[in-house]
Amino acid sequence: MKTKVIIMMMSIMLGFGAMTQSYAQDTHTNVEKNLSRKARRELRKKERIAADQYMFQSAKAALKDGNWVLESNRLITKWGNTIPVDSNTNFVELQNGTAYMQLAFAGHNGPNGMGGITLKGKPTQIKMSTDKNGDVYYQMSVIGNALTADIIVRLGNGDNYASAQVNAITNGARLQFAGQLVPASDSTVYRSGMDF
């Protein structure tokens, strides 16, 4: 008898909890339904702008901190050709005082074992500035065993989309990485263990 009462009380409590949660979800949905189509569009636009601004501030703070990764989904050659690439394996990174640049092309051979090359070096002459439009520029020279280059990162105002132009000092080669700039702690890139 006692166990039946306990089971009945538990089922009532669980049912009440489910109704409360369902009611909370329904009220948020009803609020959106009560808004006009134009008001819903404005609400979504404001939410998107707020999220983009948060991502911009996070990327800007990562640049100031010196621990960031530009996860590139496009490479742009010095002739203007655009090459779509995987953002998990193509990136420019500055972490703990070491700069990395990695290229990886699926289906090709390369020294890093991923169809490309991974280069590292020590950054020097780091400068950060903001222009009148709010765009952030981050410049550094990187010197390593196989990499001697000037790197200019441009973070556009309003979101975390950025580009990094890598200008090799030794042979005049130029390559631009374009993608999302994120703090190194939030990055999902895979760096090859074979770097030069």
Token readout for 118 is 């991974």
The C-alpha angle with vertex 89 and arms to 151 and 150, in degrees rounded to 5, equals 10
**pTM of the entire predicted model:** 0.77
Predicted confidence at residue 83, as pLDDT, reads 94
Q: What per-residue confidence (pLDDT) applies to 10?
A: 55
What pLDDT is attached to residue 107?
A: 79
Closest CA to 61 of 53, 51, 50: 53
The per-residue pLDDT for 147 is 83
**CATH ID of 56-186, from 3.50.50.60, 2.40.128.410, 3.10.129.10, 3.40.190.10:** 2.40.128.410
- What is the C-alpha separation between 162 and 159, in angstroms, rounded? 9
| Torsion angle of the four alpha carbons 70, 71, 76, 77, in this order, in degrees rounded to the nearest 10 | 80
Provide the 10 A C-beta neighbour count for residue 75. Answer: 18
Confidence (pLDDT) at 21: 52
Residues in the chain with pLDDT < 70?
Answer: 1-33, 196
Please tell me the distance from the alpha carbon of residue 164 to that of residue 141, in angstroms, as a whole number.
12
Distance (Å, rounded) from C-alpha 161 to C-alpha 51? 13
pLDDT value of residue 33: 67
Let me know how long the chain is: 196
Q: How far apart are CA 118 and CA 91, in angstroms?
A: 10
Q: Which pLDDT does position 4 carry in this prediction?
A: 56
Residue 32 has a pLDDT of 63
Per-residue confidence (pLDDT) for residue 110, from 0 to 100: 84
Per-residue pLDDT, 5: 52
